Structure 1
Amino acid sequence: MMNHTFTDLGVEEALTAKLAEYEITAPSPVQAETIPAVLAGRDVLAESQTGTGKTLAYLLPALQKIDPASRTTQVLILAPTQELAMQILHESQRYGENREIEVQALIGGAAIGRQVERLRKHPQLVVGTPGRVRELLALRKLKLHTVKLVVIDEVDQLFQLGGSGDVEQILKGTLRDRQLLFLSATVTPEIRELAGREMRDPVEVGIKPEQRTSESLEHLYFICEQRDKIDQLRRIIRTYDAQKVLVFVNNTEDIGEVEAKMNYVGLSAGALYGDADKTTRSLVLRRFREGEYRVLVASDVAARGLDIEGLTLVVNLDPPMDAEHYVHRAGRTGRMGRKGVAVSIVNPRELFIIRKFSRALGIEFGHRVLSGGKIIVPREEREHAPRTVNGKGPRSAKSSAPSPSASRKSAKVARESSPAAARKEDRHKDRKNKGAPKWLKNKAARPEGAEE
């Protein structure tokens, strides 16, 4: 593929100048293929892995197609979550500032009356979640007959969250000659069926669809007993010395406990989960972006689309439910070619999940242990490292996944190298600390070796 500039793709000078302010000078592959098609008025079905620049691939041409002199809604962007919608809103404001484009968010969890009031300013670009947009359409407070372009970002997640019905109803309210863009990390048969009904001769963009995760992303796993996971998390964060860490927890009721423990050991942490109100979620995310929180403990609500500057470490304290969720969690780091590490902390009974993801995604997971304040490769892993086959290089990622016998050895090594002495010392300190949280007091009261 030829090396393009944004100007070569047809992006106007005002937008390229704004990109240069943020040191963005060369388009990514998905941007190079998508931008000209959108500017030409074509419908687009784009599939590209997370962290490849899909947002700017549609946002730059969308902003350029808006007529600032016309006080009508001309572009509608739909996103599956409040966090992603707000991120798109901020990007729209950042790059649309020079063109004096009015942008508004219509998301659930916010006061609908205030949103109705702002709609009277006739924003040219609206970013919303499907449920709230459909609600405002039903109230006849939002009209789409002037919309020229509809963008649906992370369309696969909209289907997973049951939002396909809302999307179809919204599309019925738009003109048939409007332009339609679908962007996703994966294109499922359901998405392709909807595209077949709603799009006209779409341009299909596929950027290495077989490569599900970034090449600059390292995948690692640590083994410990379930009761030691949070302590292992603390040690991993300290050892990596990462200034921003995103930790995924499956159960919402466990998020508060992990947050409290991180804060108690001096790792400033916030919590992000779907049941929290919009204001709280926005505040927590802003504090994490700005570095006020070093650790963000989150549910899968943070797994899609979010781009956090400086995030180099993602940790799965609980394994994701499937390979697709792993891809999106890990994709919060290692974005746009930058280095990143995705760590999974598993107990011995969860090792099969690592093997399953390795086979499904065609990626290699490296086993690591903590020893002497360092992260090392276990000895038996080094002894069984993939050798060259007939001088043709290492074995495939699939064959390098840990075997059952190696996994059992790894689990044994992890138990032997567990921080027993460190935990004993921590318990002694906790008993001396009268202001310790209740969960630590209870832990201190238990005899050594008791289950937590």
Structure 2
Amino acid sequence: MKKFSDFHLSKNIEKAIHNLGFEEATPIQAEAIPIAMTGKDLIGQAQTGTGKTTAFGIPLIERVELSEEAIQGIVLAPTRELAIQVAEELNRIGQVKGVKTLPIYGGQDINRQIKALKKRPHIISATPGRLMDHMKRRTIRLNHIRTAVLDEADEMLNMGFIEDIQTILGGISSPHQTLLFSATMSKQVQSLAQKFMNTPELVQVKAKQLTVKNIEQQYVEIPENRKFDVLCNLVDLQSPDLAIVFGRTKKRVDELAEGLKKRGYAAEGIHGDLTQSKRADVIRQFKEHTIEIMVATDVAARGLDITGVSHVYNFDIPQDPESYVHRIGRTGRAGTKGLAVTFITPRERHHLKVIEDVTKTKMSRQSPPTSSEVMAGHQEAVIHRVLTAIEKGEFGEYKPMAEKLLEEMDSVTLLSATLKLLTKESNMAPVQLTEVAPLRNKKVRPERKRGRGRKETVGRKKNYRK
């Protein structure tokens, strides 16, 4: 498995990657980054959730010249959500070097975008329709582009953006590198590549399959408002060495981490809005076992190389099967066994079925633990600690006191009282989480682009492929 230190990156990029906690490269990153760094055109065939943004982001940012105050890179994405997500990740990778990425998308006030463009960003992450609007207004010029990226090209073509993409790529007047990423290689995608790319190299990464046999996979079906209490009960019952809890949003991660701390757990959260030093500190504490639970978003946990994670809890079911595979792959490493538990609400059964179908696996259904089961778990943990201490002989100095107490009362009463004091009592301090709507199966309502009738959707179109 390649590490980012193998790519001979510039010091600024290497520091940014280190600050983000990325160590181990995903397959698409391992294959695409060395090729793209040479300046060659590249086609990457990979699914969502495989680390594509970092795969094209590192070469893209490496090529930016800070002395040149012009837009030097563009990334085209099918939806505003993806355009924003890409911009966020590129800003994290480019932070140390000082490379700024601006998201440009429909639905946001264009005058606000024009004002932001006057601050001279180096890279634009855009939806095709809104980029075309700026090109017509001459508020974005493509005469200094060094790298052009098409992200999820098949989705953009399916949504009717072919003419816009051709106009945009045809409007780049400077010599440049083109990087195209697509989950499928349709005839349209191949035709686009032939027309606008110069002998591109093809990198294909198959959708991840669940080949890890060391991970036991379970799910618990419960209402949204019961999930946090059930999570605490499971942690108490299962006593993980190290656990990662995945939440869907940054706000969710913050609330979960604070709630767990309120209940007495050693927990911290990581997501994209944290400072680099804070993020690195949380990862260090987790690796050193100073904290036992790390709460994370998908993006924040990508590329982390942490051994010893015994449990993964999907507090929110992931958006797609690839993200699920990535999440649970944090455990069951180096021949050790791991447990992955996914929480679903009754309306999310379809998403669970999709994940099972695509990953060719079957999760076992578990009932939420009862309070008596949790108490029994606490008692077993105490007994285990006592027996371990006896085996190690770590009690010699306490013998005289024990003998004195046994003269005053019977051994069963004495031991029962001792076990009671040692047994952890459930902390049910009230914790309020902002309710998150369950994932829906319906297609997101499209927003019509003015004057052209093509579509630019608010959310990401989900198209699960086997």
- 8 Å Cα contact 1:73-1:125 kept in structure 2: yes
Instruction: In structure 1, give the amino acid aligned to 2:299.
Output: D
- 1:204 CA displacement: 1.5
Q: Give unmatched runs, 5+ long, in structure 1.
A: 224-230, 247-284, 296-304, 376-452
Partner residue, 1:65: 63
State the partner residue of 1:46. Answer: 44
TM-score, structure 2 as length reference? 0.55
After superposition, the C-alpha distances for 1:303-334 in whole angstroms (9 at most, x for unaligned) are xx962559941656xxx9xxxx7435746844
Shift of 1:217: 8.1
1:217–1:333 Cα contact (<8 Å) kept:
no
Give the Cα separation in 1 of the matches to 2:24 and 2:353: 37
Question: Residue 134 of structure 1: CA displacement?
Answer: 1.6
Secondary structure of the corresponding residue to residue 97 of structure 1:
coil
Conserved? CA contact 2:74–2:145, under 8 Å: yes
Other-structure match for 1:327? 321
Q: How many Å apart are 1:113 and its aligned residue?
A: 0.6
CA, structure 1 residues 314+288, in 2 after alignment: closer, same or farther (shift >3 Å)?
closer
- How far the C-alpha of 1:52 sits from its partner, in A, is 3.3
Deviations 1:215-251 (A, max 9, x none): 598765567xxxxxxx5444455323486544xxxxx
Question: Is 1:307 paired with 2:271?
Answer: no
- Answer yes or no: is 1:9 the counterpart of 2:7: yes
- Does structure 1 residue 287 correspond to structure 2 residue 251? yes
Q: Structure 1 residues 69 and 312, CA, compared in 2 at 3 Å: closer, same or farther?
A: farther
| Distance across 2 between alignment mates of 1:371 and 1:347 | 21
TM superposition shift of 1:19: 1.8
Q: Could you say if the C-alpha distance between residues 138 and 218 of structure 1 is closer, same or farther in structure 2, counting changes exceeding 3 Å? A: farther
Structure 1 position 150, deviation (Å): 0.8
Q: Distance in 2 between matches of 1:43 and 1:115?
A: 30
SS at match of 2:4: coil
TM-aligned CA distance change 1:47 to 1:219, over 3 Å: farther
Specify the alignment match of 2:231 in structure 1.
Answer: 240
Contact 1:219 1:343 in 2 (8 A): no
Query: Contact conserved, 2:245 with 2:315, CA < 8 A, in 1?
Result: no
Tell me what 1:133 maps to: 131
SS at match of 1:158: helix
Other-structure match for 1:119 = 117
Counterparts of 1:33 and 1:211 in 2: how far apart (Å)? 15
Query: Judging changes above 3 Å, is the alpha-carbon distance between structure 1 residues 232 and 6 closer, same or farther for their aligned structure 2 residues?
Result: closer
SS state at 2:199 partner = coil
SS of corresponding position for 2:148: strand
Which letter maps to 1:291? Answer: E
| Structure 1 residues 213 and 75: CA distance shift in structure 2, 3 A | farther
Identity of aligned residues (%): 22
- 1:86-235 matches, cutoff 5 A: 86-175=84-173, 177-207=175-205, 209-211=206-208, 220=218, 232-235=223-226
TM-score, normalised to structure 1, is: 0.57
Decide whether aligned partners of structure 1 residues 30 and 244 sit closer, same or farther in structure 2, where only a CA change above 3 A counts: closer
**1:373 Cα deviation from its structure 2 partner:** 5.9
Q: Which moved more, 1:67-76 or 1:43-52?
A: 43-52
Distance 1:306 1:188 in 2: 28
Alpha carbons of structure 1 residues 184 and 70: separation in structure 2 relative to 1, 3 Å:
same
Larger of the two Rg values belongs to structure: 2
What are the equivalent positions in structure 2 for 1:353-368 lying under 5 Å apart?
358-359=356-357, 361-368=359-366
8 Å CA contact retained: 1:103, 1:125: yes
Superposition deviation, residue 28 in structure 1 = 2.9
Q: Superposition RMSD on alpha carbons, in Å? A: 4.1
Deviation of 1:60 after TM superposition, in Å, equals: 1.1
Structure 2 distance, partners of 1:336, 1:127, is 30
Gap change, CA 1:364 and 1:78, over 3 Å in 2: same
Letter in structure 2 aligned against 1:70:
E
Aligned to 1:98, the other structure's residue is in SS state coil
- Residue 171 of structure 1: SS of its match in structure 2? helix
Inter-CA distance 29–101: structure 2 relative to 1 (3 Å threshold): same
Residues 114-165 of structure 1, C-alpha deviation per residue, up to 9 Å, x if partnerless?
Answer: 2112323332211122221122112222111221211122334334544444
Structure 2: how far apart are the matches of 1:314 and 1:95?
A: 28
> What's the CA shift for 1:25?
3.2
Residues in 1 aligned to 2:217 and 2:154: alpha-carbon distance in whole angstroms: 24
Determine the C-alpha separation between the residues in 1 that align with 2:86 and 2:254. Answer: 17
1:288, 1:294 within 8 Å by CA — same for their partners in 2? no
Tell me the distance in 2 between the aligned counterparts of 1:147 and 1:61. 14
Is contact 1:51-1:335 (8 Å) kept?
no
Aligned-pair CA distance for 1:109 = 2.5
Letter in 2 for 1:327: P
Structure 1 residue matching 2:7: 3-state secondary structure: coil
Distance 1:184 1:58, change over 3 A: same
For residues 47 and 328 of structure 1, the distance between their equivalents in structure 2, rounded to whole angstroms, comes to 14
**Residue 65 (structure 1) shift:** 0.6
Contact 1:152 1:182 in 2 (8 A): yes
Aligned residue number for residue 55 of structure 1: 53
Task: Provide the C-alpha distance between the structure 2 equivalents of 1:341 and 1:163, rounded to a whole number of angstroms.
Answer: 40
Q: Give the superposition deviation at 1:211.
A: 2.8
Q: Deviations over 1:6-29 (max 9, x none)?
A: 353231122112222233234333
Amino acid corresponding to residue 135 of structure 1 in structure 2: D
> Distance between the aligned counterparts of 1:290 and 1:99, measured in 2?
28
Aligned to 2:438: none
Q: Which residue identity lines up with residue 28 of structure 1 in the other structure?
A: T
